[in-house]
């Protein structure tokens, strides 16, 4: 079965700082990749997804992620974070069913 | 349009009891998946149902069972509750079973076992 690793458990940034959250997966076949976000008190929401094509995908709220097949990675980036980006971020991989990483808590200081 | 709805929102049960959680998918969605999210961890896959049949099962004991009804709603049952079953239980719906579909999540049911 596939598995997902998120390297950062808690990231603290100041507003306007750049963000990169790491995600690696283990699965040898074709996968679809996702980043979900969970704002405090809200349900999981999709940030972006990769199915095929251009490995650089853009999502909502200025987020983007790059799929690097050779590295089994799908890192999430944002050039300039805002206080409202404070949330929990989950990387997920869907090969047969969707598996999530442990999540990264992002705190953005105003 | 209504999103994925789950009931109840909160639940407190005693060890050894049984619990049933309910999920209504987005209209038109035929696939429902269940996840367990323990505090500080990511959602763990429990089951996927599509067209009323189990299509996937995670690494959970047989105390966990589920079913999907003709209207595509779903129930998750947990028997002989343990303290470790305390978690947020999430339901997600998607249009189809295959991996090329986005999952939409409900708010979850917070289960506390005492």
Do B100 and A51 count as a contact with CB atoms less than 8 A apart? Answer: yes
CA A26, chain centre distance (Å): 16
Residue with tokens 């999709």: A46
Of B43, B99, B102, the CB nearest to A100: B43
Give B85-99 pLDDT, tens digit per residue. Answer: 999 999 999 987 666
Give A17-69 pLDDT, tens digit per residue. Answer: 999 999 999 987 888 999 999 998 888 999 999 998 999 999 999 999 999 99
Higher-confidence position of A87 and A31: A87
Cα–Cα dist B10/B108, whole Å: 9
In this prediction, residues A11-16 reach a mean pLDDT of: 97
Phi/psi of residue A69, each to 5°? -60, -40
**Does B81 score more than 90 pLDDT?**
yes
Do A98 and B106 count as a contact with CB atoms less than 8 A apart? Answer: no
Cα–Cα dist A61/B2, whole Å: 23
């Amino acid at each position: 079965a596939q598995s997902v690793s998120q390297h950062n458990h808690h990231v603290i940034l100041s507003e306007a700082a750049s963000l990169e959250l790491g995600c690696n997966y283990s699965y040898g076949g074709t996968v679809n990749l996702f980043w979900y976000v969970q704002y405090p008190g809200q349900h999981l929401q999709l940030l972006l997804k990769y199915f095929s094509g251009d490995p650089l995908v853009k999502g909502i709220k200025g987020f983007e992620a790059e799929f690097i097949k050779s590295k089994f990675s799908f890192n999430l980036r944002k050039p300039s974070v805002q206080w409202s980006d404070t949330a929990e971020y989950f990387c997920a991989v869907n090969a047969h069913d969707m598996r999530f990483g442990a999540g990264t808590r992002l705190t953005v200081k105003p | 349009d209504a999103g994925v709805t789950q009931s109840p929102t909160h639940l407190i049960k005693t060890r050894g009891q049984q619990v049933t959680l309910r999920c209504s998918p987005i209209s038109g969605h035929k696939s429902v998946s269940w996840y367990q999210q323990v505090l500080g961890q990511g959602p763990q896959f429990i089951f996927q149902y599509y067209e009323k049949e189990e299509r996937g099962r995670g690494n959970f004991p047989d105390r966990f069972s589920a079913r999907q009804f003709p209207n595509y709603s779903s129930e998750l049952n947990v028997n002989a509750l343990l303290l470790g079953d305390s978690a947020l239980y999430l339901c997600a719906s998607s249009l189809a079973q295959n991996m090329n579909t986005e999952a939409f999540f409900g708010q979850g049911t917070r289960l506390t076992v005492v």
